[in-house]
């Protein structure tokens, strides 16, 4: 969780400070001879997405530091949903194939998180505290 959080914070900072770098990091090739035209809201979208990544990354880091298992459990279905939506966006032609990596990252993160929670649940005796809140 902490690693994902730090990566999300880092990518959020990159997007806020150098938004044109993000598409290249995700494997998107710029259109030949492309320039921003009036009405192109790409930078607005990248700024909003980067701020969301920065915030979510901070949430993940803080939840990790607090060992907040309930938060970890909540991330699994939502990261799987993100995987499905992003994968379908590529399959349906709404997003370029480079975007598939984002979906796979989310799916892999959900599976690893679920496996870690299961592993810890089997090896850690109940502490008597209620982490469901």
Work out how many domains the chain is built from and give that number.
2
Same domain, 62 and 93: no
Query: Residue 51 falls within a domain, yes or no?
Result: yes
Q: What is the pLDDT along the chain (133 residues), one digit of tens a residue?
A: 899 899 999 999 999 999 888 888 777 776 666 677 777 787 888 899 999 999 999 999 999 999 999 999 999 999 999 999 999 999 999 988 878 888 998 999 999 999 999 998 888 666 655 555 5
Same domain, 13 and 74: no
Same domain, 91 and 57: no
Neighbours of 22 (CB within 10 A): 19
Specify the pLDDT at position 124.
67
Query: Residue 82 falls within a domain, yes or no?
Result: yes
Query: Residue 8 falls within a domain, yes or no?
Result: yes
pTM value is: 0.75
Q: Which domain holds residue 53?
A: 1-27+40-66
Specify the pLDDT at position 133.
52
Query: Residue 131 falls within a domain, yes or no?
Result: yes
Query: Residue 34 falls within a domain, yes or no?
Result: no
Q: What does the H/E/C string look like for 52-102?
A: HHHHHHHHHHHHHHHCCHHHHHHHHHHHHHHHHHHHHHHHCCCCCHHHHHH
């Amino acid at each position: 969780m902490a690693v994902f959080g730090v990566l999300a914070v880092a990518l959020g900072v990159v997007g806020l400070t150098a938004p044109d770098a993000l598409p290249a990091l995700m494997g998107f090739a710029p259109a030949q001879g492309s320039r921003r035209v009036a009405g192109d809201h790409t930078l607005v979208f990248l700024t909003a997405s980067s701020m969301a990544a920065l915030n979510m990354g901070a949430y993940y880091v803080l939840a990790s530091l607090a060992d907040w298992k309930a938060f970890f459990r909540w991330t699994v279905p939502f990261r799987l949903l993100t995987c499905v939506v992003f994968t379908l966006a590529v399959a349906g032609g709404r997003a370029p194939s480079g975007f598939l990596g984002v979906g796979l990252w989310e799916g892999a993160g959900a599976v690893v998180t679920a496996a870690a929670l299961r592993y810890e649940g089997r090896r850690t005796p109940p502490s008597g505290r209620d982490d469901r809140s």
